[in-house]
Amino acid sequence: MEVVELLNKRKIPFQTSGQDYLIRCLNPEHEDRNPSLRVNKISGIMNCFSCGFKGNIFKFFDEAINAKDLKRKRIQDKIMGIRADNIGLKMPKNYTPFVGTYRGISASTLARYRAFTSIEPEYASRIVFPIYDITGKIRAFVGRATDNTIIPKYKVHPGGVKLPLFPGDVELVQGSVILVEGIFDCLNLIDKGLPNVVCIFGTNNIDIYKMSLLKVMNVNSVYTFFDGDEAGEKATQKVADLGEKINLRVEKIPIDKNSDPADLSEERVIKLGDYLYG
């Protein structure tokens, strides 16, 4: 049994956060309103950075741990991570190019970014994208569940790999880029006519290296277009602070709290383009 299977079995809601799942603390003495317990996706080791509660989720629920499976999974991920860093990954065997539209994004845009499906366990029931770095190597695969009952909604393979900016071959308009959180935020805006959009894959995945890389790519200004929630606001401030350190101008694009760049209509995207570049 994997950690995700255990969480689903126990009907415990969770979020994906890097190499961990984030859940409400299992300490009965901790009234955890906001999830603060991190559970390693492979080992099940858990740690609450709020109250200090520690342990292993398998032992907590008295579930058997298959040590051989855990060891094999660690080795496989480590090998794939090394391969991704050095020579890049290969497209999976027997993959099938995704045909048609998805979430309002045209078939041509999905094909441009090599969307595919596969029956292999890592990709089953997901629309998957190869993620290339600036050198043209595939660093990872990101898949979104096509069925809302599948958890987690997004899955990165191999686990633990550091995702580069997407797309790696960003087209610049007037030396600027628009930073968004998720891959479908990015694809939707590109599909509707904004070519200079870059996905950072989550608010915790932007750092001084990636900001400096944008500057090397002749970017002179950055627009943040993150979700209107608390995490989005914190990420906006982080990007602004990083931009100040490397002398890169950063501006925020206003967005309603309940709005999502992935759901913007073509009309609103065109208006956004006119607002920024008109």
Contacts of 216 (CB under 8 A, 6+ apart): none
The H or E element containing residue 204 is none
Looking at the structure of the chain, the number of domains it has is 3
| pLDDT bucket at 24, cuts 50 / 70 / 90 | very high
Return the pLDDT at 66: 61
Q: Is residue 189 part of a domain?
A: yes
For the domain that residue 240 is a member of, what is the CATH number? 3.40.1360.10
Using the predicted structure, report yes or no on whether residue 269 has a pLDDT greater than 60. Answer: yes
> How far is Cα 178 from Cα 100, in angstroms, rounded to an integer?
26
- Kindly report the backbone phi and psi dihedral angles of residue 129, in degrees, each rounded to the nearest multiple of 5, phi listed first: -125, 135
Give the CATH number, domain containing residue 107: 3.90.980.10
The answer to the question of residue 71 being in a domain is no
Tokens describing residue 118: 């596969």
Spell out the alpha helix ranges (H) of 105-229.
Answer: 107-112, 183-191, 208-216
The answer on 145 and 211 residing in a single domain is: no
Residue 134 belongs to a domain: yes
* One domain for residues 189 and 121: no
Is the domain of 142 the same as that of 92?
yes
Give the pLDDT confidence score for residue 82 in this predicted structure. 60
Query: Token digits for 136?
Result: 């043209």
Tell me the whole-structure pTM to 2 decimals: 0.72
Structure tokens at 187: 């694809």
- How confident is the model at residue 130, as a pLDDT? 96
Q: Which residue, among 234, 238, 228, has the nearest Cα to 261 in the 3D structure? A: 228
The answer, yes or no, to whether residue 113 has pLDDT greater than 70, is yes
Minimum mean pLDDT among 86-100, 151-165, 175-189, 206-220: which range? 151-165
- For the domain that residue 47 is a member of, what is the CATH number? 3.90.580.10
pLDDT at 149 over 80: no
Structural domain that includes position 17: 3-60
| 3-class SS of residue 221 | strand
Range in 52-56, 79-83, 132-136, 180-184 the model is least confident about:
79-83
Average pLDDT estimate for 132-158: 86
pLDDT confidence of residue 4: 85
3-class secondary structure, 179 = strand
Euclidean distance between CA atoms 276 and 278, whole angstroms: 6
Instruction: Decide if 248 contacts 239 (C-beta within 8 A).
Output: no
Tell me what the pLDDT averaged over the chain comes to: 86
Distances, alpha carbon 103 to alpha carbons 140, 184, 199, in Å: 22, 8, 17
Angle, CA of 123, 127 and 128, to the nearest 5°:
65
- Identify whether residues 184 and 217 lie together within a single domain: yes
From 106, 122, 157, give the residue that closes a domain: 157
Dihedrals phi, psi of 121, to nearest 5 degrees: -55, -35
Structure confidence by residue, pLDDT tens digits, 168-186: 877 776 788 999 999 999 9
pLDDT at residue 76, as a whole number = 62
Write out pLDDT tens, residues 226-254: 987 777 888 899 999 999 999 999 999 98
Distance of CA 112 to the CA centre of its chain: 19
